[in-house]
Amino acid sequence: MVLKGSQVALRAYRAGDAPDIQAWVWGDPAVVPHPAFWDHPQSLAETEAFLAAMMAPQPDPPLAVNLAMALADDPQARYIGGCGLHAIDWRNRNAMLGIVIGRPDLHGRGLGTEAVTLLLGHAFDALGLHQVGLTCFEYNERGLRCYRRCGFREEGRLRERRFCDGRFWDEVRMGITEGEYRSHADGR
């Protein structure tokens, strides 16, 4: 699957992505300064296990959509990050969204906003979902702004759930419904 925007393309993961994932996502504390999903530097074997999980066949209907990000004008579509929908609940037509851009030099240039918008289009138009949620820590101002720009609204907070830089921070829960996505898209 390829979802293409003006700056980014979302494609399936491929076996050759492991070194870029290792170098860009897990190797640079500037990317994820306070990692939520791991607590130690990842070995290549661990990265390959992660990649295998991303590439594993999904049931039909799928429980997750895992996509790699590439620059739209890169003919090799080299990995720059990943995004996806997980915990897809088909009965209630909702899912959770996640994203990481692995190269800090590409942060703050609108790629995240474009990727999330592409993914929401896929969620609502192709998969027929009704609501997409996410969580983001309070200190991640860039993430929070990116999600708001895509039409997400704050739904609540798990207070002081995360300790870093000498204090506790809230975990912010955000969400967007199909209707909100469509009115947001109309307003763009």
Ligand X SMILES: CC(C)(COP(=O)(O)OP(=O)(O)OC[C@H]1O[C@@H](n2cnc3c(N)ncnc32)[C@H](O)[C@@H]1OP(=O)(O)O)[C@@H](O)C(=O)NCCC(=O)NCCS
Residues that bind ligand X (CB under 6 A): 31-32, 99-101, 107-113, 136, 140-143, 145-146, 149
Least separation in angstroms between residue 134's CB and ligand X is 6
Least separation in angstroms between residue 84's CB and ligand X is 12
Q: What would the two tokens of residue 43 be?
A: 């070995």
Q: Which is nearer to ligand X, 34 or 61 (CB)?
A: 34
User: 85 in helix, strand or coil?
Assistant: strand
Q: Which is nearer to ligand X, 128 or 158 (CB)?
A: 158
Interatomic CA distance for residues 97 and 19, integer angstroms = 24
Q: Which is nearer to ligand X, 142 or 159 (CB)?
A: 142
Least separation in angstroms between residue 45's CB and ligand X is 23
Least separation in angstroms between residue 169's CB and ligand X is 12
Beta bridge mates, 134: 174
- How many Cα atoms within 13 Å fall on the side-chain side of residue 30? 8
Interatomic CA distance for residues 179 and 156, integer angstroms = 20
Least separation in angstroms between residue 31's CB and ligand X is 5
Residue nearest to ligand X (CB): 112
Q: Which is nearer to ligand X, 11 or 149 (CB)?
A: 149
Q: Which is nearer to ligand X, 31 or 119 (CB)?
A: 31
Q: Considering only CA atoms, which of 182, 73, 88, 163 is closest in space to residue 132?
A: 88
Angle at 68 between CA 30 and CA 120, to 5 degrees: 100
Asked whether the beta carbons of 65 and 12 are under 8 A apart, the reply is: no
